[in-house]
């Protein structure tokens, strides 16, 4: 079974091509590594346990459910973190706009003050009165021109001051709104973090109660469950239709992702030493020169969808109804993905989990 994770029993890593070939042969030889994601949150009570389930199989399903819940919370955490980064940048931008606006307003006020002081030095006599008292036609015409220019300049100055003050109020209002969003995001992120830790701790506690042989058997049950789903997917004949060739960027994404095989899953991680599922796929495509959304749910929402039968290496396979897990298709019916806590980045069967759909970053 260990061979199907891309590693030998002795710990020597096989080449990516060998690992992929082993996954494709899984229907006959064994099972790909199990991968986990989570259902919608909050999670309703699970279905009744089938009468034929052994106690260890019941434990496996409980652990699976807990890690799925942790997976959903991880996506929520990552989304909150991404939004917080965007909101922080917007707050910084608004602060700069406010600073620029305040300096502009101070400059306009200084100009208005200078005009007022000039009038005071002239004895406080309005320009209109001086114009009427002029006894020279030439001086009158010249003064009339300057009066019109002065009136126009004063009006423009007042208009500019009013506009700048309105802009400052808008900037301040927007900054306050961003701060409120940032605070709400901070609370959502903290709640998701608590849920992740709670679910992982509960799953680890369940597993820690098992004897060594039971833990080994639990791993086998995970692999058997994945094999059953992969076999059903392969039996549909889907692999016969998968003939798409990778693009240059797709090959780079595959090369990056497969180079991470063996690195541990850590929720919220984006490398280089560890990854979660969407951290791996987003970084793989960043390495290929294409920025994509950070979370699996946003990858599903915002990237172009393609039919499963048309997928090609480099495409992202999205799993479960809530799009809470993602893997990068590497060809020959296999994906590379970061499964869940306690596991490492590995090769697995593309059909070993419930496929929601496929998206293409370089459409």
Q: Is 24 a residue of the active site?
A: no
Of 24, 152, 277, 320, the catalytic one is: 277
Q: What span, in angstroms and rounded, lies between the C-alpha atoms of 263 and 73?
A: 21
Per the CB < 8 A criterion, the answer to whether 337 and 345 are in contact is yes
Per the CB < 8 A criterion, the answer to whether 358 and 241 are in contact is no
Of 24, 152, 305, 325, the catalytic one is: 325
| Residue whose token pair is 């706009």 | 97
Q: What span, in angstroms and rounded, lies between the C-alpha atoms of 175 and 195?
A: 30
> Read out DSSP for 271-318?
SSS-B-HHHHHHHHHHHTT----SSHHHHHHHSPEE-GGG--TT-EEE
Length of the chain: 363
Burial class for 121, CB neighbours closer than 10 Å (0-12, 13-18, 19+): exposed
> Read out DSSP for 109-149?
HHHHHHHHHHHHHTTT--HHHHHHH---HHHHHHHHHHHHH
Return phi, psi of residue 293, to 5°.
-55, 155
The first and second tokens of residue 198, run together, are 């709670």
- What residues are labeled active site? 277, 325, 337
């Amino acid at each position: 079974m260990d061979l199907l994770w891309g590693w030998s029993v002795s710990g020597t890593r096989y080449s990516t091509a060998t690992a992929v070939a082993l996954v494709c042969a899984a229907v006959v030889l064994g099972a790909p590594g199990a991968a986990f994601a989570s259902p919608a949150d909050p999670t309703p009570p699970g279905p009744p346990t089938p009468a034929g389930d052994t106690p260890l199989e019941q434990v496996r399903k409980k652990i699976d459910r807990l890690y799925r819940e942790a997976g959903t919370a991880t996506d929520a955490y990552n989304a909150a973190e991404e939004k917080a980064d965007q909101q922080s940048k917007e707050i910084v931008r608004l602060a700069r706009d406010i600073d620029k606006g305040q300096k502009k307003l101070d400059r306009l006020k200084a100009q208005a003050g200078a005009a007022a002081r000039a009038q005071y030095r002239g004895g406080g006599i309005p320009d209109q009165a001086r114009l009427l008292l002029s006894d020279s036609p030439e001086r009158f015409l010249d003064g009339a021109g300057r009066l019109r220019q002065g009136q126009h300049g004063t009006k423009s100055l007042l208009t500019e001051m009013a506009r700048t003050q309105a802009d400052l109020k808008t900037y301040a209002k927007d900054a306050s709104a961003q701060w409120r969003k940032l605070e709400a995001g901070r609370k959502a992120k903290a709640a998701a973090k608590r849920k992740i830790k709670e679910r992982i701790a509960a799953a680890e506690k369940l597993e820690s109660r098992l004897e060594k042989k039971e833990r080994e058997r639990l791993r086998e049950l995970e692999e058997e469950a994945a094999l059953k789903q992969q076999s059903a997917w392969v039996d549909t004949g889907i692999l016969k239709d998968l003939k798409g060739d990778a693009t240059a960027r797709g090959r780079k994404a595959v090369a990056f992702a497969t180079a991470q095989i063996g690195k541990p899953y850590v929720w919220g991680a984006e490398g280089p030493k560890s990854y979660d599922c969407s951290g791996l796929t987003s970084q793989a495509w960043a390495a290929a020169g294409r920025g994509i959304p950070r979370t699996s749910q946003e990858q599903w929402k915002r990237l172009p969808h393609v039919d499963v039968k048309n997928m090609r290496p480099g495409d992202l396979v999205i799993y479960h109804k809530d799009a809470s897990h993602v893997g990068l298709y590497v060809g020959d019916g296999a994906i590379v993905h970061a499964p869940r806590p306690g596991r490492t980045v590995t090769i697995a069967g593309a059909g070993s989990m419930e496929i929601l759909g496929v998206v293409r970053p370089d459409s």
